[in-house]
């Protein structure tokens, strides 16, 4: 959904209609409209732009010193490495 549509939904909610009614009109959940409203209040129009869903870090990432060992194990087992 474009940020302009999010902005219109936020403005509609500010003008009075219930969040659920506005959400139904835009084909999204109440939670989405509420999140947009909070992001708009906090960051203005920038808060309504698309955000990356990529995590900032991966806590399950294999440590660098273990990667070569895991790669060779995966090669020997046909890519079925369970190395962690």
How far is residue 68's CA from residue 23's CA, in Å, rounded to a whole number? 49
| pTM over 0.85, yes/no | no
The pLDDT tens digits of the residues spanning 54-83 come to 777 776 666 777 666 666 655 566 655 556
The pLDDT tens digits of the residues spanning 10-35 come to 999 999 999 999 999 999 999 999 99
CB atoms within 10 A of CB 70: 15
Can you state the angle between helices 19-26 and 30-43, rounded to 10 degrees? 100
Q: Look at residue 65 in the predicted model and tell me its pLDDT.
A: 73
How far is residue 67's CA from residue 84's CA, in Å, rounded to a whole number? 9
Please choose, from the candidates 4, 5, 42, the residue with its C-alpha nearest in 3D space to the C-alpha of residue 27: 5
């Amino acid at each position: 959904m474009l940020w302009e549509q999010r902005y219109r939904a936020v403005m509609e909610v500010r003008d009075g209609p219930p969040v659920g009614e506005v959400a139904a009109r835009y084909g999204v959940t109440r939670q989405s409209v509420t999140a947009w409203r909070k992001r708009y209040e906090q960051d203005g129009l920038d808060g309504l732009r698309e955000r990356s869903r990529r995590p900032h870090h991966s806590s399950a990432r294999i440590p660098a010193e273990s990667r070569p060992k895991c790669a060779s194990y995966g090669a020997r087992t046909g890519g079925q490495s369970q190395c962690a």
